[in-house]
Structure 1
Amino acid sequence: MPNTVTGEIRSIIDPVVSSLKRHQIEGDKDIALAISHLLMKVISAARWTNPYDLIDLIREVGTILSSAYPRKIITGNVVRRVLALIRDEIETEHNENANTPMMSSMFSLLSTSNNENHKELHKQSKKQMSDLRSIIIQGIRDLVDEISNVNDGIETMSVDLIHDNEILLTPTPTSDTVLQFLIKARAKRKFTVLVTESFPNYIKEAQNFAKKLAEHKIETILVPDSTVYAVMSRVGKVIIGSSAVFANGGCMSNSGVSHVVECAKEHRTPVFALAGLYKLSPLYPFTRDDLIEVGNSGKALNYDDFKLVDNVELVTNALDDYISPDYIDIYITNVGGFAPSFIYRIVLDNYKTEDNTLE
């Protein structure tokens, strides 16, 4: 790929790249919004003679952003959504301007042509480029609105999914989507929520999560992780948040969630995973170990226990878990509920296969 990132574009993306590397942007929604606003600036500043030059630029910017925080799948998702938007506009424009018969169009699809010839056919006037730029930026604004209001679409399904006097369990106290989902359901339903302690990484988050639920008059009990199997027989549903959903129907979630969903499967308790559309990814989790982030090992084994530490060669503290689609009954998204086996179809509607690999 040619080096299309100019100094001007580099000056726009460098601050965000630096923030991603330092993990200064926290929260999936905040990262998605930051990338969306960045791409709007890049497209506004970029210069191109045809839309395929713009695609090359966005792909390269996407590669740089993804490498800044490789384990955050959302970064690549937003870039691919924008690429799909650009390709849709090119296709729409091509169809409007095409005067060739359908038969010749079919033959042209089967014929081989190099990328340079393809670009020559799509050279545009300044007015056409300006119009396309405006359309793409408006499309990204719509994406920003979708991401900002993602909880609204998910919350509307909560009343239909939660029953009166039901006992729910959630092992993801870091998920604002799960929090808002439960709060919304409380408007018409009375239920109890068990929140796992999420040791060792999210103890404070679990306490704050339980406190917020209690403030909305939801009966809440904070339970140790070790008691999950014992209480699961009383649980009606397990509700988890997810940081990324893959095309195979699997997802990434907090560490400890895999243990909970395995207990749920043993007790035949349904598991609902909440995820905004922007978290759905066209990628497959072929290298699962590379997806799991490792954090502060001192939380798993305190350094004050120096006698024990001296006898241990390696201490790892995983921050994430990969959840197989076998353990999830349904995904609740802002565009509806879907079985894990149907996720690939939603992915095909929102991404282009040629952008699965950005490099």
Structure 2
Amino acid sequence: MSSQAKDINFQTDSFVEKLKRRQISGSYQVALETCQLLMKFVAATRWTHIDQLIVQIRLLGKRLESAQPREFSCGNVIRRVLALIRDEAHEDNNNNNQQTQNTTDSNNGPMISSMFSLLSITAEKSEQEPQSKARYHDLKSAIIQGIKDLIDEISSIDEGIESMAIDLIHDNEILLTPTPDSQTVLKFLLKAAKQKRKFTVLVTENYPNGTEKAHSFVKELTKAKIDTVLIPDSHVFAVMSRVGKVIVGARSVFANGGTVSTAGVAAVCECAKEYKTPVFTVAGLYKLSPTYPFDVENLIEIGNSGKVIKFSESELFHNTDVTNPLFDYIPPEHIDIYITNIGGFAPSFIYRIVLDNYKNEDVYLS
């Protein structure tokens, strides 16, 4: 085994352990780290045919997904890169077939009239053989460049979303966000404030898991001179009649238009539906997943129950199961528009965006 292969194996093992231990978390950070690992993996892996590379990346993707099944952006990036490889291979095959056809047509023109002509044709074929290695080298370079472009896309994802803030947020409007842990929502609101929009933001406390993040979120908005009010989660229904829009940050968006977000968002969306308040979900393209949420309960991660009820008070609740879900699943009928870095789309149109960025062969990596 070469030193380069040993190095990439070490980096892969290290990344898997970090995922398992939650040393890397958050859709944005996980997506960037996965892209960096894939770029090194493609550069270090030896393969003679594109199918071999696809198989190895699928095995890597399965291993990463198994390490942390609910970090959906990791699997999404793997599938985006697989789609990129398949597109590059398809284009390369078309170009190669075209060159072969042209060579065949030119060889069929003159007849072999002597032994010298036969030897000259054999010499031409032997000169074309090294071009195959060069072709695979070019293909690898194209794949690595495609991954670099994907990294640039993810790094600048918020810029495309922020550009839509001026059109969606109006003066003297009251907004509500139940996802104070979303940096995309924070930047979206800050961008609107820079455009001289005066509005009020209601931020849910996100008890018990995100209270500290909610306070930090409110401080950031206050620094930007945005009128901000921190409200308890139980007050959402009472204030919903005054809210103009609900802004939600997504953890993952599925092909059916549903999404996984912070715990408590499902209840807020139910209230918004009751008052017919529009719900806007902001999500980068890398959060779109080609999978379907057939098993919703398996998508919801359960956290520390001690944050809901102290362990010292557990004797007061006999025969009671206390759970602390970290995420919620929101069905597509509770969301009005998805705001992505390439535009706004209805939940019913998400499948079309998925088809443009993923391949059906890679929906299931196993």
Structure 1 length-normalised TM: 0.90
Offset, 1:187: 1.4
Residue 199 in structure 1 maps to residue 207 in structure 2 = yes
Alignment of 1:192-271 (within 5 A): 192-271=200-279
For the 8 Å contact 2:206–2:214, the answer to whether it is kept is: yes
For the 8 Å contact 1:174–1:202, the answer to whether it is kept is: yes
Q: 1:173 aligns with which of 162, 167, 180?
A: 180
In the other structure, the counterpart of 1:13 is 12
In the other structure, the counterpart of 1:77 is 76
In the other structure, the counterpart of 1:24 is 23
Instruction: List alignment gaps of at least 5 residues for structure 2.
Output: 102-129
Residues 253-273 of structure 1: CA distance to partner in whole angstroms, max 9, x if unpaired? 000000000000000000000
In the other structure, the counterpart of 1:322 is 329
Between Structure 1 and Structure 2, whose CA radius of gyration is higher?
A: 2
For the 8 Å contact 1:168–1:237, the answer to whether it is kept is: yes
2:37 and 2:96 map into 1 onto residues whose CA distance is 31
Residues 289-319 of structure 1: CA distance to partner in whole angstroms, max 9, x if unpaired? 111111111111112324324x144221100
SS of match in other structure, 1:98: helix
For the 8 Å contact 1:12–1:42, the answer to whether it is kept is: no
Q: Structure 2: which amino acid aligns with 1:57?
A: Q
In the other structure, the counterpart of 2:114 is none
Residues 115-143 of structure 1: CA distance to partner in whole angstroms, max 9, x if unpaired? xxxxxxxx983212211111111100000
1:79 and 1:358 map into 2 onto residues whose CA distance is 9
2:275 and 2:147 map into 1 onto residues whose CA distance is 44
For the 8 Å contact 2:27–2:72, the answer to whether it is kept is: no
Q: 1:146 aligns with which of 139, 142, 153?
A: 153
For the 8 Å contact 2:180–2:213, the answer to whether it is kept is: yes
In the other structure, the counterpart of 2:283 is 275
2:332 and 2:49 map into 1 onto residues whose CA distance is 41
Instruction: Decide whether aligned partners of structure 1 residues 210 and 201 sit closer, same or farther in structure 2, where only a CA change above 3 A counts.
Output: same
For the 8 Å contact 1:49–1:124, the answer to whether it is kept is: no
Instruction: List alignment gaps of at least 5 residues for structure 1.
Output: 1-5, 102-122
Q: Structure 2: which amino acid aligns with 1:248?
A: N
1:333 and 1:56 map into 2 onto residues whose CA distance is 31
Instruction: Decide whether aligned partners of structure 1 residues 8 and 208 sit closer, same or farther in structure 2, where only a CA change above 3 A counts.
Output: closer
In the other structure, the counterpart of 2:52 is 53
1:316 and 1:94 map into 2 onto residues whose CA distance is 53
340-349 or 21-30, larger mean C-alpha shift: 21-30
Residues 164-192 of structure 1: CA distance to partner in whole angstroms, max 9, x if unpaired? 00000000000000000000001121000
Which has a greater percent of helix? 2
Instruction: Decide whether aligned partners of structure 1 residues 124 and 331 sit closer, same or farther in structure 2, where only a CA change above 3 A counts.
Output: farther
For the 8 Å contact 1:12–1:41, the answer to whether it is kept is: no
1:335 and 1:135 map into 2 onto residues whose CA distance is 23
1:124 and 1:227 map into 2 onto residues whose CA distance is 69
Offset, 1:7: 5.7
Identity of aligned residues (%): 59
25-34 or 300-309, larger mean C-alpha shift: 300-309
SS of match in other structure, 2:328: strand
1:294 and 1:312 map into 2 onto residues whose CA distance is 19
In the other structure, the counterpart of 1:3 is none
Offset, 1:205: 0.6
Offset, 1:72: 1.3
Alignment of 1:270-349 (within 5 A): 270-309=278-317, 311-349=318-356
Offset, 1:335: 0.5
SS of match in other structure, 1:204: helix
Residues 186-213 of structure 1: CA distance to partner in whole angstroms, max 9, x if unpaired? 1121000000011111011111101100
SS of match in other structure, 2:311: coil
Offset, 1:144: 0.4
2:58 and 2:164 map into 1 onto residues whose CA distance is 36
